[in-house]
Structure 1
Amino acid sequence: MKELLVRNGAWTLIGLCSLLLPGEACADDPVVFQARSIRSGAWSDVGVWEQGRLPQAGDRVQVRIGHTVVYDVQSGVALRFVHVAGTLTFSREKSTLLDVGLLKVEPGEATTENGFDCHAPVRDVPEGTPRPALEIGTPAAPIPAGVTATIRLRHHPGMAAESLPAIVCCGGRWDIHGAPLQRTWLKLATPALAGDRMLTLEQPVNDWRVGDRIIITTDQSQGPGPYATFRQKGGRPKPVGTEERFIASVDGPRITLDRPLEKSHQGPGEMRCEAANLSRNVIVESAEPNGVRGHTMYHHGSSGGISYAEFRHLGKEGVLGRYAIHFHLVHDTMRGSGVLGASIWDSHNRWITVHGTDHLLVRDCVGYQSLGHGFFLEDATEQWNLFDRNLAVQAFVTVPLPDQVLPFDPNDGAGFWWANGRNTFTRNIACENDRYGFHFQIAETPDFNPILRLRQPDGSTAFQDVRTIPFLRFEDNESHGEGLFDFRFGDEQPGAVHGDREHPFIVRQLRAWESHYVIRPNVRHFLLEDLRVTKAAYGIYHPDYDHHVYRDVRLENISDEPLNGGHGASAFPNGNFTYDRLTLVNCRLDRHPLVQLTAVGGQPGVTGHFRGLTLSDARSAKGSIGFGGGPRTRRTDNPVAHFFHGMPAANAVTRVVSTRLSEEDGGTVLSVVDGWTGTDARAYKTSDIAFPELLTPIDDLPPATLITRIEPIGDRWKVSGVSHDNGNIQAILVNNQEATVVARHAGVSDWMIMLETPADRRLVASTIDADGNREQMPHERILPVGK
């Protein structure tokens, strides 16, 4: 039996057959099949099988090379193993159920009963070469509404419980596609109150069905409190606001629930609660959710993809690599594939894990209840992946996994967690996760060196410090009701994670509400544009100031510290920072000033600048501007100069310093400004102080292009895809012809083009951005033969 362990970022094989428990079979032993296909046909046809014998309970079954078998039964017969070496396709005419211990898609006649490793190293398969295929619907022909297809993963006696039951794709094609939904989750159009049975959503959902399971997210924040988790099993959990219901009827945007709501689900203005549909007509589930659970994975060299499928009661608690959905060291071999519109719920080990894999699309998915982080990028090598319009609800705190690649990750419940900035996150929402909505974390430890060999934009590889790679795109994301932070970026070690003046970490269009800590930017060279917050304890918390630029920040109804100056000696600003158009609304504070400053810096000459500061019905007993807050240093060296442009007097610049420093500054007498400076702040007017430009971002990074679908339309081909960039996309070219953009948002463009069949049947897609950067790693595909 082979098993994978991680040591210092390298995956190695070790033999463990000697460690098997009595009665367990060695997973590396060649499988002897009790049922094998002898021709193509229906699974229910005895003539398809050797000796005219249908597969029976406990059998190991093989669909042989060159055979296409249509699975057409809804059977409670529990098969031990199905090896797909040919093609196994599920009926689209009738509902089906397959109960199985291991479903493995792998080329060749020989295989093993290993639920993690492949029988042999998976090699790249030239496109156009026949490969084994498991088809539970296809993108062009999904399992239609009204028909269901269910795979029930069941552990059998003697199986290795650490890795089985499972679906494993080893260089084959696994397609699983249910009936599409226009939207899998939506905002409420109007508040829903306790006692209501009807929801009104922001658009019609006529493809949602009576009996579907839905969740309605919380409009409350519990904060860190005395309890650790929203998980309701065992211990003393926090109260939860998210509720589950079933649909009793659907009428356009209105849904009637099976029973009344117990809690309110409101939200201020555009920041409203969400309703998400968890039900799909294609299902992968564990037979024994309270027993031995299953997992699924794609290996390097595989193909296919997932859309509108339901993955429930999966994931092996505390076991590395056994996740509900797992792309394992796929690298670029599944470029343009991914997960669309899936629901993943009640997972004991993550929702979707992208490990050592680039260029995937994860869009319109709903993750609900996971032990550990939910949407998860595993080892800091993942790049050019796009996470768009996903919903993450209730990722629970647990413990680090044994031998995990990144030892600094506590696995403490983030809706979205990643460690390499060169990925795109747009239009996602996180809610009621134990610690974080979004957590970007990368660090150096005695067990991990962040200088890794990474693919570069020109296709070469080079060693690079991952901590210096800014975000490809982080825009239009929202978080509410989290256990601790909405957004946290970087490392505890000041200055360890940083960009530079031309390549800062950039985040735009963030929304947070019903929050404890909104954002903690522990990165240097940081640009935040358009942050809107309603109802939080802390706004911008413990920033690692050094070339930080904040623009268009609106903080409303903040109860403790809208701007936190930091934690004593651990949070001295080491570089300049600016706030432009900062607005505080309806903030009523007792213990801290509205704008909290830091008296001294980590080095001489640090300045902070504020322009366009607006205080609307905001006041504090400690004054508008001051140096209050948590633990403060007694140091007086390296004073920070804070300049307020156009405030409190228009057309003037006011400098503010701490009373802990000199009563005079350069011979100018400092004074109190009534109603503005706090008890520990003094100010004076100055002039000839320009508002600085700390960052000059440039776009010298090429876009990334994904061909997501190829369809024959008559004698032509419809090619669809997605491109994303840190700037603006100018043109998408497929075989040197410009594609049509059908949707555009936050640097992400969906496109399509109709093409004649090229002589060499090759498609080459690339993107050019508005700054003239041309993609150097185009996406290449070969058109299928015979169409």
Structure 2
Amino acid sequence: MAPLRLLWVCLATALAARALGAGAVADPAGPTGECNEPACAGRPPAPVLLQRSSALALRADAAGASEAAAQLWSSASRLQAGCGWGHCVVPAGEHWVLDTSIHVETLTVQGKLTWDTSKDDLELKAGYVLVDSGGHLQVGTRDAPMDRKAIIYITKGPHSHPEFGHRFFGGRGSAKIDIHGRELKRTWTLLSRTAAAGSTVLHLKDDPAALGWRAGDRIGVATTTPHTKRGESTVHTVASVGSRSLTLNEPLRAEHWGGLREIAGRRFEMAAEVVNMERSVLITGDHDDIQWTGEGLHTMMMGSGYMDMRYARVEHCGQRPLMGRYCLHFHVMRRCPRCVFQGNAVV
């Protein structure tokens, strides 16, 4: 403001000097319209400059007020206003923050719903979650991912949607969905040494700590046993992370090859894959009958918006009897530069 006022004063002084040089009388009022001279008596104040800047400042203040007006879901009045008969709607133009676990019949997001990334083990449980056109669901960002545990749980129930069907998590129209879980620099590696049956230590080709793996993560170890012998891929929990090694809570049930093997005088890398199956953001749901119905939850994004899902785990998913009901699904999105599936675990 000060440099602009100084510029105006200089300009006004120059114009006044030119006017005086031409025999005119200088206006005793200053650049802001303020005047204490007798010649100004009874004169209405001059228009205040920087009206556009003032409007922009007011607009910025309004934007700040809008951000400050984000409502916590734990607010009882907000909850009662948006959840008639358990069918909850985040209205267009409103911003809610999910700071508590909830169990509702259905959830439709028309405004903005932001997951509180400072809270651990929050759960959103609903028959379906729809981000409608113009809505935005945000669970972490690329710069500030959701490092704590977050669960979206889709229940089995009578509620359905004409476009998405039942038991879904999805968006349509210009909806925006951002899900960013704990980043893993790499989601898999290989055994560098053969691990014997009964062993609890895996020697790896890469340093698991550098990959972002942690104690408590679930990992899968692929089978390498020839088909003439009994072998299987197994899932284990990491007890501790070492330098290029993992210690498991449960011993291996079979041998898993690692490193190089010599075949006909030549050496080949023939090693079991070790896959990190743990993610901080979990999308799951009811699955007691999935073995015989073939139906779990499904996810879908359609329209002109986007879904950017990175480092999430989706389990008990897909609806085998129905076409277009998959674990992760961009439905006829055509060109969508912001649509991303990266580093996810589908189980």
- Structure 1 counterpart of 2:152, one-letter code: I
Instruction: Give the Å deviation of 1:74.
Output: 2.4
Q: Does residue 150 of structure 1 match 2:180?
A: no
Q: Does residue 316 of structure 1 match 2:290?
A: no
2:217 matched to which residue of 1? 212
Equivalent position to 1:80, from 90, 105, 108: 105
Q: Does residue 102 of structure 1 match 2:128?
A: yes
Conserved in 2, the CA contact under 8 Å of 1:308 and 1:343? Answer: yes
Conserved in 1, the CA contact under 8 Å of 2:306 and 2:338? Answer: no
Instruction: Give the Å deviation of 1:99.
Output: 0.4
> In structure 2, how many angstroms separate the alpha carbons of the residues matched to 1:257 and 1:270?
24
Instruction: Give the Å deviation of 1:273.
Output: 1.0
Instruction: Give the Å deviation of 1:221.
Output: 4.0
Which whole-Å deviations, capped at 9, do the CAs of 1:697-722 have from their partners, x for residues lacking one? Answer: xxxxxxxxxxxxxxxxxxxxxxxxxx
Conserved in 1, the CA contact under 8 Å of 2:172 and 2:302? Answer: yes
Answer 1 or 2: which has greater strand percent: 1
Which whole-Å deviations, capped at 9, do the CAs of 1:397-436 have from their partners, x for residues lacking one? Answer: xxxxxxxxxxxxxxxxxxxxxxxxxxxxxxxxxxxxxxxx
The equivalences for 1:135-534 within 5 A come to 135-144=138-147, 147-157=148-158, 159=160, 163-171=165-173, 172-206=175-209, 207-222=212-227, 240-267=231-258, 268=261, 269-291=268-290, 293-332=296-335, 334-345=336-347
Instruction: Give the Å deviation of 1:49.
Output: 4.0
Equivalent position to 2:96, from 60, 66, 69: 69
Aligned-residue identity in percent: 28
Q: Which entry has the higher C-alpha Rg, 1 or 2?
A: 2
The equivalences for 1:22-101 within 5 A come to 40-49=70-79, 51=81, 55=83, 59-75=86-102, 77=103, 79-95=104-120, 96-101=122-127
- Structure 2 counterpart of 1:300, one-letter code: G
Instruction: Give the Å deviation of 1:316.
Output: 1.2
> In structure 2, how many angstroms separate the alpha carbons of the residues matched to 1:88 and 1:63?
7
Instruction: Give the Å deviation of 1:222.
Output: 2.7
SS in 2 for 1:82: strand
Distance 1:88 1:241, change over 3 A: same
Which whole-Å deviations, capped at 9, do the CAs of 1:467-490 have from their partners, x for residues lacking one? Answer: xxxxxxxxxxxxxxxxxxxxxxxx
> In structure 1, how many angstroms separate the alpha carbons of the residues matched to 2:182 and 2:208?
14
Conserved in 1, the CA contact under 8 Å of 2:231 and 2:254? Answer: no
> In structure 1, how many angstroms separate the alpha carbons of the residues matched to 2:308 and 2:215?
27
Conserved in 1, the CA contact under 8 Å of 2:318 and 2:325? Answer: yes
> In structure 2, how many angstroms separate the alpha carbons of the residues matched to 1:212 and 1:251?
14
Q: What do you get for the CA RMSD once the two structures are aligned?
A: 2.3
The equivalences for 1:743-754 within 5 A come to none
> In structure 2, how many angstroms separate the alpha carbons of the residues matched to 1:336 and 1:164?
26
User: What 5-or-longer segments of structure 2 have no aligned partner?
Assistant: 1-68, 262-267
Conserved in 1, the CA contact under 8 Å of 2:83 and 2:89? Answer: no
SS in 1 for 2:333: strand
Instruction: Give the Å deviation of 1:202.
Output: 1.2
Distance 1:99 1:192, change over 3 A: same
Conserved in 1, the CA contact under 8 Å of 2:191 and 2:273? Answer: yes
Which whole-Å deviations, capped at 9, do the CAs of 1:656-711 have from their partners, x for residues lacking one? Answer: xxxxxxxxxxxxxxxxxxxxxxxxxxxxxxxxxxxxxxxxxxxxxxxxxxxxxxxx
> In structure 2, how many angstroms separate the alpha carbons of the residues matched to 1:183 and 1:324?
21
Conserved in 1, the CA contact under 8 Å of 2:167 and 2:297? Answer: yes
- Structure 2 counterpart of 1:105, one-letter code: V
Conserved in 1, the CA contact under 8 Å of 2:127 and 2:159? Answer: no
- Structure 2 counterpart of 1:163, one-letter code: G
Instruction: Give the Å deviation of 1:239.
Output: 5.3
The equivalences for 1:557-572 within 5 A come to none
Which whole-Å deviations, capped at 9, do the CAs of 1:269-293 have from their partners, x for residues lacking one? Answer: 4231110011111000012343552
> In structure 2, how many angstroms separate the alpha carbons of the residues matched to 1:60 and 1:173?
21
- Structure 2 counterpart of 1:84, one-letter code: V
- Structure 1 counterpart of 2:343, one-letter code: G
2:28 matched to which residue of 1? none
> In structure 1, how many angstroms separate the alpha carbons of the residues matched to 2:115 and 2:183?
17
Conserved in 1, the CA contact under 8 Å of 2:310 and 2:341? Answer: yes
User: Structure 1 length as normaliser, TM-score?
Assistant: 0.32
> In structure 2, how many angstroms separate the alpha carbons of the residues matched to 1:281 and 1:241?
27
SS in 2 for 1:331: coil
> In structure 2, how many angstroms separate the alpha carbons of the residues matched to 1:253 and 1:289?
38
- Structure 2 counterpart of 1:153, one-letter code: I
Which whole-Å deviations, capped at 9, do the CAs of 1:428-453 have from their partners, x for residues lacking one? Answer: xxxxxxxxxxxxxxxxxxxxxxxxxx
Conserved in 1, the CA contact under 8 Å of 2:301 and 2:307? Answer: no
User: What 5-or-longer segments of structure 1 have no aligned partner?
Assistant: 1-38, 108-130, 224-237, 346-787
> In structure 1, how many angstroms separate the alpha carbons of the residues matched to 2:77 and 2:108?
19
Which whole-Å deviations, capped at 9, do the CAs of 1:622-667 have from their partners, x for residues lacking one? Answer: xxxxxxxxxxxxxxxxxxxxxxxxxxxxxxxxxxxxxxxxxxxxxx
Distance 1:287 1:248, change over 3 A: same
Conserved in 2, the CA contact under 8 Å of 1:300 and 1:331? Answer: no
Instruction: Give the Å deviation of 1:198.
Output: 0.3
1:31 matched to which residue of 2? none
- Structure 2 counterpart of 1:150, one-letter code: I
Which whole-Å deviations, capped at 9, do the CAs of 1:210-240 have from their partners, x for residues lacking one? Answer: 22211101113439xxxxxxxxxxxxxx955
Conserved in 2, the CA contact under 8 Å of 1:87 and 1:132? Answer: yes
Distance 1:318 1:83, change over 3 A: same
- Structure 2 counterpart of 1:213, one-letter code: R
Higher relative contact order (CA 8 A, sep 6+): 2
> In structure 2, how many angstroms separate the alpha carbons of the residues matched to 1:136 and 1:252?
32
> In structure 1, how many angstroms separate the alpha carbons of the residues matched to 2:177 and 2:113?
10
> In structure 1, how many angstroms separate the alpha carbons of the residues matched to 2:79 and 2:338?
36
Instruction: Give the Å deviation of 1:304.
Output: 3.4
Conserved in 1, the CA contact under 8 Å of 2:317 and 2:326? Answer: yes
- Give the aligned length: 262
- Structure 1 counterpart of 2:105, one-letter code: R
> In structure 1, how many angstroms separate the alpha carbons of the residues matched to 2:129 and 2:208?
34
SS in 2 for 1:262: coil
Conserved in 2, the CA contact under 8 Å of 1:279 and 1:310? Answer: yes
> In structure 2, how many angstroms separate the alpha carbons of the residues matched to 1:329 and 1:221?
41
